Amino acid sequence: MLTSITDGILCCLTGKAANLVLPLDSSEPSDGFEFVEVKPGRVLRVRHIIPERQPIDTEKQVARTEEADAGCDDHDEAPTEGSVKDGDGGTSVHCKRKITVYRNGQLVIENLGDVLHSEILQCQDGDLEPCSTVEVELADYKEIASSPDPNPIPPPGSAPSEEQKPAPPPRRRRRKPKRTVLIDSKRVISSCKGTHSDVAIFFVHGVGGSLDIWSSQLDFFSRLGYEVIAPDLAGHGASTAPQIAAAYTFYALAEDLRAIFKRYARKRNILIGHSYGVSFCTFLAHEYPDLVHKVVMINGGGPTALEPSLCSIFQLPSCILHCLSPCLAWSFLKAGFARQGAKEKQLLKQGNAFNVSPFVLRAMMSGQYWPEGDEVYHAELTVPILLVHGMCDKFVPVDEDQRMAEILLFAFLKVIEEGSHMVMMECPDTVNTLLHEFFLWEPDMSRKNSSKTDAENIVSVCDTINTLKINKPVDK
């Protein structure tokens, strides 16, 4: 504590912020770690694990192909109406919705696609609704025609009198849509197994984290045969930390991750983000809809446009934040974990979480400006998304993830009762199992009239939300 105060005083006197985050001395890959220069002088540490897969025997492959051409197996199923199997065994679904934005901020989303949406997001009683409408505001824009008139018009033939003359109805300004967005596309959704060489999983951490917070997930999925990629954001972990605030804006970090994604992307890619990292996953899924196959959002909050808070402790000078760093670390431990025991402290230390310089922390929080990432931006996503929320999270309320589940087209919401903001570190087995089931999930369009679907049997994480509130932009 005294050391932090002393360093903070020296920081104020010299005008230079102490940089606690430095790149590793060696640039040679070791234990799956690589260093990627996304821009001149901007180097990110990346953990890239490629599993060892057995080479495919070409003779056996040819024999299997000949058998398949000779005839179908008795267990093979013919494609049913509403589902189309592609070459990879995926299901082609029709994603169609109409998004209307009104000038007062109301958002109306009409799902017009086929039965997939209702098949996945079906009601608890088993009733299917082929189309659904989501209104983001408690306001009606259509007058009810059957409502009684308080001043009825007298029947014809009766003499009009002053008492019988109806009062003129108040002139109600007709509300016109400010913008209308139409989505009409087809997406192939298939099971992603570790044996598939065209699948890659990307892990993106949030503010103050590092790729080390994903240690349990990286080890688990690499052992299952998945190719995993996890970068350190600029100024975090072992990546370089530029001493300029513009290096930590949302757009600067998004371009870094774009370069990482383009470098390691396969045919089918799964994005997993935590907290602030969810926004970058949303950005990549929106930019590359054909490459992003599925997305996992862990404690990411609601679908609001990012805007930095002007009344935040992170707006204080870096030297003051340096003095307060022990208190900030303690507050993060208190709010980020459901329990604050020796195990959680060790996890925080091993995960290298919240071990960033005050300058980087201040620049990261001040750079969270992303006006495009509003409700419409999220509603345009057609990729299946799994929302994971720790019930004890003190940073992100569960209402925000519920709102996100309602806005998104194909969304599953799973609440882990014993988890908090760092749920992937607190409950690694639960999170790993949940993620793996979601990777293996594939919609079954042939069972339209069944009471239970594959979404219930495999994932069983769907929550139906009835109301939705608009919140102000929040920091993640």
> Known catalytic residues?
275, 393, 421
Between β-strands 411-416 and 385-390, what pairing exists: parallel, antiparallel or unpaired? parallel
What distance in Å separates the CA atoms of residue 455 and residue 412, rounded to the nearest whole number?
9
The token duo for 150 is 């308080």
Q: Is 191 exposed, middle or buried (0-12, 13-18, 19+ CB in 10 A)?
A: middle
Among the listed residues 98, 110, 104, 179, the one whose alpha carbon sits nearest the alpha carbon of residue 141: 104
Region for 235 from its dihedrals, namely left if φ exceeds 0, alpha if ψ lies in -120 to 50, beta otherwise: left
Cβ neighbours of residue 51 closer than 8 Å, sequence gap 6 or more? 194, 222, 223, 225, 226, 227
